[in-house]
């Protein structure tokens, strides 16, 4: 009898984990009031979801706290209620900004929908115990999703003697689904309890199984959903003043702008988003650095229109939205030609390309075919320079009228497989450069979701003659017109193939990536350098079941072999071993050891394919970690060390962060990182590209940030960043045909002392759903402001001098008002 009982207890959780759970939605004629009070009688008629299963720290364990969730619906929206039983004194209730619950001291509840049942894409709507909303678009294997997407919906929470409650109203204008009369959606609920960091899901989510959306339960019973016309307008006005530093051409500038965002649900599945005459001035400043590499710095996208709902456009990886509205291509040419010319002065040289408008059209058909169209038009830009003798002004075009277009077809199949076609094109007015890039990507999973074969094919076409870029091309690729050297039109291609085991404790992969010498997607995409063939492989182990010392841990080994594509030649070989541990007190630590054991050949550092640079072998190690983020005081740390076979060549970096939560409303954090390379080898930036320098390089970055949350919808944020870089040249060399170095005479005057300072402060108030007031202040010191590196040798003196110099200041006020067509029609 006892043996049978034990077998029964073992089989119950196994059967529970293997079966997909189902919940029926209940139609209601009288929607509940969204106030956190679940006493509305209509909730009693809804089916109940309960018996959550823990995902972390111990997968498969029954949740220690009872949760009861219900779903209602009508012709306008879905309604979700949750009663989360707990000791109310133990519920964490920190106020955070929207989508800011990660690593904060707060409990939260989330509902997830896979409206197309493709097991790949979905929506998340969550609310914290302090009634702060979080939402995201889901795609891929991660449960995090794209949190830059913000929908318009309602929520309310309330504390109870035996826990806390949640109510949500999610209108259909915030969802996309098929046009079928009977709907069946993937469904998942998550309850996160901060004091023990437990993730409890309604339908079990096994961490050893690849993917997240494919582990949802099922929502049934949605009948004849008659979605209202999904049309909303968000007009905005903004104004302000900018005070430029003394010596600027314009000391004071009045800032005026106005425009509108439009969202139109063409049908239940497809949505058109448009922005007209947008103003993106109220975004966080870029983390500018002293870039000594041959590669372009990739900056984070902070503009809302280009971050919200763009997961379909980003799937192929050939869309870099910062190309749109970027620095005009002729900006530096004007500065270099006229800034130091004694006969001329620069009256105006815009540093940002004005965006006229942009649209996004996307959705998914009943057959799980995703369709996306993106289009943006930027204005022609011109600089004005004045002849000091004649006072005559000359207009110089720095950027032509340009159209950016992206087209995507994404077909989802069973077992999480998919095929995606993407085409990106850029058309510029006049004789300027036009470009087109196409990509075909596929991911194929076997029936058990254990193995995956993925790959891609890409082609790029440059149609017009373009200014010569000496980094990757030779004289045979160019033509001279009117004394100016241009590149001829050219084509290129790239391909990738990857095979791997994607589920289980042991996982492995093998991959080859090829880029031809003329592959160039950079008119709308981002690629550091073409002309490479890279082979990589790796094996990794993850322990998901807690042990005596660790909650979880993993370790792995990766191998990388790099070659030049044309002419085919060896570049480098690298081996990297890594490990990561999470302790029972929720401290974590990671360790990386790597080696490039042989001499490597760098074909890109000297920005000319006629030259190459041979670098010595080197070895490195990194250790990083962080404390328990539940505590008021949270610290993170990191240390890296590298040493090459050259004498006197150590490199090290130190990273430290500290965050203190003064209350549930206010926290401050300080992050400081320093790196020092005592013998860095790189281009000396001379007219002869074959000259390199040995230099002592150091930099230090300090970022102070803080937030005060007045309410769940109102906060004040501040971020101040100072970056200092110092470059001191030790000696110079000439590169020979093999890439080896021969000494030459010292070249004086090449040292650099580079400072950047930015302060961004924003007061934000979401005074009604979708409507917002933002008051902003920006203070900055330009990178073109020189600070004497001999007089101010260390970081402290540079920081002090940074504050002594005149700064630019900008004050702006922006008001956005959300208008729902259906509400206007009723009124």
Domain count within the chain: 3
Q: Are 554 and 648 members of one domain? A: no
* Contacts of 449 by beta carbon, 8 Å cutoff, 6+ apart: 209, 210, 211, 214, 415, 416, 502, 503
pLDDT at 760: 95
User: Domain for residue 639, yes or no?
Assistant: yes
Domain final residue pick, 172, 205, 228? 228
Domain final residue pick, 595, 623, 650? 595
DSSP-derived secondary structure letter, 62: B
Q: Are 117 and 210 members of one domain? A: yes
Number of Cβ atoms within 10 Å of the Cβ of 584: 12
* Contacts of 748 by beta carbon, 8 Å cutoff, 6+ apart: none
User: Domain for residue 428, yes or no?
Assistant: yes
User: Domain for residue 26, yes or no?
Assistant: yes
pLDDT at 483: 61
User: Domain for residue 110, yes or no?
Assistant: yes
Residues in the chain with pLDDT values less than 50: 1-17, 468, 470-471
* Contacts of 809 by beta carbon, 8 Å cutoff, 6+ apart: 242, 243, 777, 778, 779
User: Domain for residue 198, yes or no?
Assistant: yes
Q: Are 657 and 801 members of one domain? A: yes
pLDDT at 94: 94
Q: Are 639 and 517 members of one domain? A: no
Q: Are 520 and 619 members of one domain? A: no
pLDDT at 15: 39
Q: Are 570 and 677 members of one domain? A: no
pLDDT at 247: 61
Report d(CA 547, CA 408) in Å as an integer. Answer: 46
Range of the domain at 69: 21-228
- Which sign, positive or negative, has the C-alpha torsion 125, 129, 132, 134? negative
Q: Which two tokens stand for residue 77?
A: 């929206």
From 796, 721, 784, select the one nearest 752 (Cα to Cα): 784
Report d(CA 552, CA 541) in Å as an integer. Answer: 11
* Contacts of 448 by beta carbon, 8 Å cutoff, 6+ apart: 503
Burial class (CB in 10 A: 0-12, 13-18, 19+), 56: buried
E strand spans, 475-587: 478-481, 484-487, 490-501, 506-515, 532-543, 550-564, 569-583
Q: Are 586 and 697 members of one domain? A: no
From 73, 82, 3, 70, select the one nearest 36 (Cα to Cα): 82
Q: Are 582 and 663 members of one domain? A: no
User: Domain for residue 258, yes or no?
Assistant: no
Cis preceding linkage at 87, omega within 30: no
Number of Cβ atoms within 10 Å of the Cβ of 647: 7
Report d(CA 354, CA 276) in Å as an integer. Answer: 11
Domain final residue pick, 164, 199, 228? 228
Where would I find the H helices in 207-302? none
Cis preceding linkage at 567, omega within 30: yes
User: Domain for residue 559, yes or no?
Assistant: yes
- We report the CATH number of the domain holding residue 199 as 2.60.40.1190
Edge-to-edge strands, sheet with 393-399 = 344-348, 381-387, 393-399
Q: Which two tokens stand for residue 9?
A: 């207890």
Using alpha carbons only, what angle is made at residue 703 by residues 697 and 705, rounded to the nearest 5 degrees?
Answer: 175
First to last CA, the chain: 69
User: Domain for residue 360, yes or no?
Assistant: no
Burial class (CB in 10 A: 0-12, 13-18, 19+), 667: buried
Q: Are 120 and 210 members of one domain? A: yes
Q: Are 116 and 176 members of one domain? A: yes
Q: Are 632 and 511 members of one domain? A: no
Q: Are 778 and 810 members of one domain? A: yes
Asked if 267 contacts 229 with a C-beta cutoff of 8 angstroms, the reply is: no
């Amino acid at each position: 009898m006892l043996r049978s009982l034990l077998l029964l207890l073992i089989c119950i959780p196994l059967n529970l984990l293997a079966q997909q759970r189902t919940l029926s939605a209940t139609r209601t004629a009288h929607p509940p009031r969204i106030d956190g009070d679940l006493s509305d009688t209509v909730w009693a008629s809804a089916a109940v979801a309960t018996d959550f299963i823990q995902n972390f720290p111990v997968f498969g364990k029954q949740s220690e706290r009872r949760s009861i969730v219900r779903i209602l619906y009508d012709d306008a929206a879905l309604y979700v209620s949750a009663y989360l039983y707990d000791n109310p004194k133990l519920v964490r209730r920190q106020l955070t900004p929207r989508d800011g619950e990660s690593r904060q001291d707060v409990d939260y509840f989330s509902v997830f929908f896979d409206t197309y049942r493709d097991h790949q894409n979905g929506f998340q709507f969550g609310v914290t115990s302090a009634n702060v909303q979080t939402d995201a678009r889901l795609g891929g294997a991660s449960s995090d999703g794209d949190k830059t997407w913000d929908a318009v919906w309602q929520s309310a929470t309330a504390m109870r003697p035996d826990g806390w409650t949640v109510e949500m109203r999610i209108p259909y204008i915030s969802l996309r689904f098929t046009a079928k009369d009977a709907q069946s959606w993937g469904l998942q609920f998550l309850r996160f309890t901060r004091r023990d960091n437990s993730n409890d899901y309604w339908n079990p989510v096994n961490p050893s199984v690849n993917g997240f959306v494919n582990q949802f339960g099922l929502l049934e019973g949605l009948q004849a959903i008659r979605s209202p016309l999904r049309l909303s307008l968000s007009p905005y006005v903004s104004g302000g003043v900018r005070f430029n530093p003394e010596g600027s051409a314009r000391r004071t500038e009045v800032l005026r702008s106005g425009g509108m965002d439009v969202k139109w649900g063409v049908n239940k599945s497809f949505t058109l988003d448009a922005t007209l005459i947008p103003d993106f001035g109220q975004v966080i400043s870029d983390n500018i650095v002293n870039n000594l590499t041959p590669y372009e710095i990739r900056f984070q996208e902070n503009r809302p229109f280009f971050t919200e709902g763009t997961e379909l456009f980003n799937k192929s990886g050939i869309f870099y939205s910062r190309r749109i509205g970027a620095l005009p291509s002729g900006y530096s040419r004007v500065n270099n030609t006229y800034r130091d010319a004694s006969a001329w002065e620069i009256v105006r040289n815009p540093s940002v390309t004005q965006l006229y408008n942009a649209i996004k059209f996307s959705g998914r058909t009943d057959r799980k075919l995703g369709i996306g169209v993106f289009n943006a038009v930027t204005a022609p830009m011109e600089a004005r320079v004045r002849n000091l003798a004649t006072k005559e002004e000359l207009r110089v075009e720095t950027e032509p009228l340009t159209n950016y277009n992206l087209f995507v077809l994404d077909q989802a199949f069973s077992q999480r497989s998919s095929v995606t076609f993407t085409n990106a094109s850029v058309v510029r007015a006049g004789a300027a450069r036009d470009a087109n890039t196409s990509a075909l990507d596929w991911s194929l999973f076997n029936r058990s979701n254990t193995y995956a074969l993925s790959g891609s094919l890409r082609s790029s076409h440059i149609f017009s003659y373009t200014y010569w870029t000496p980094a990757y091309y030779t004289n045979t690729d160019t033509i001279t017109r009117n004394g100016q050297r241009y590149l001829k039109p050219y084509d290129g291609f790239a391909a990738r193939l990857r095979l791997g085991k994607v589920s289980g404790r042991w996982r492995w992969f093998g991959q080859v990536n090829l880029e031809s010498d003329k592959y160039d997607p950079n008119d709308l995409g981002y690629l550091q350098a073409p002309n490479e063939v890279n082979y990589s492989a790796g094996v990794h182990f993850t322990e998901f079941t807690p042990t005596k010392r660790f909650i979880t841990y993993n370790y792995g080994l990766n191998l990388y072999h790099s070659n030049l594509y044309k002419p085919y030649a060896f570049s480098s070989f690298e081996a990297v071993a890594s490990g990561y541990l999470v302790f029972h007190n929720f401290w974590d630590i990671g360790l990386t050891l790597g080696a490039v054991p042989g001499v490597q050949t760098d074909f890109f550092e000297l920005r000319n394919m006629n030259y190459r640079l041979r670098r010595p072998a080197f070895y490195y190690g990194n250790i990083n970690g962080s404390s328990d983020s539940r505590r008021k005081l949270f610290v993170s740390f990191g240390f890296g060390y590298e040493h090459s076979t050259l004498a006197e060549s150590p490199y090290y970096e130190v990273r430290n962060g500290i965050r203190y939560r003064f209350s549930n409303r206010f926290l401050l954090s300080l992050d400081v990182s320093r790196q020092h390379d005592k013998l860095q080898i790189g281009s000396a930036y001379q007219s002869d590209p074959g000259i390199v320098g040995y230099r002592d390089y150091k930099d230090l970055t300090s970022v102070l940030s803080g937030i005060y949350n007045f309410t769940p919808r109102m906060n004040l944020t501040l971020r101040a960043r100072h970056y200092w870089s110092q470059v001191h040249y030790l000696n110079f060399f000439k590169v020979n045909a093999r890439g080896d170095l021969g000494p030459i005479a010292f070249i004086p005057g090449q040292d650099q002392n580079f400072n950047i300072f930015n302060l961004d402060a924003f007061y934000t108030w979401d005074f009604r759903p979708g409507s917002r007031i933002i008051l902003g202040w920006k203070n900055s010191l330009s990178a073109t402001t020189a600070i004497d590196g001999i007089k101010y040798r260390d970081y402290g003196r540079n920081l002090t001098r940074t504050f002594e110099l005149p700064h630019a200041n900008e004050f702006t006020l922006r008001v956005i008002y959300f208008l729902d067509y259906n509400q206007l029609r009723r009124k």
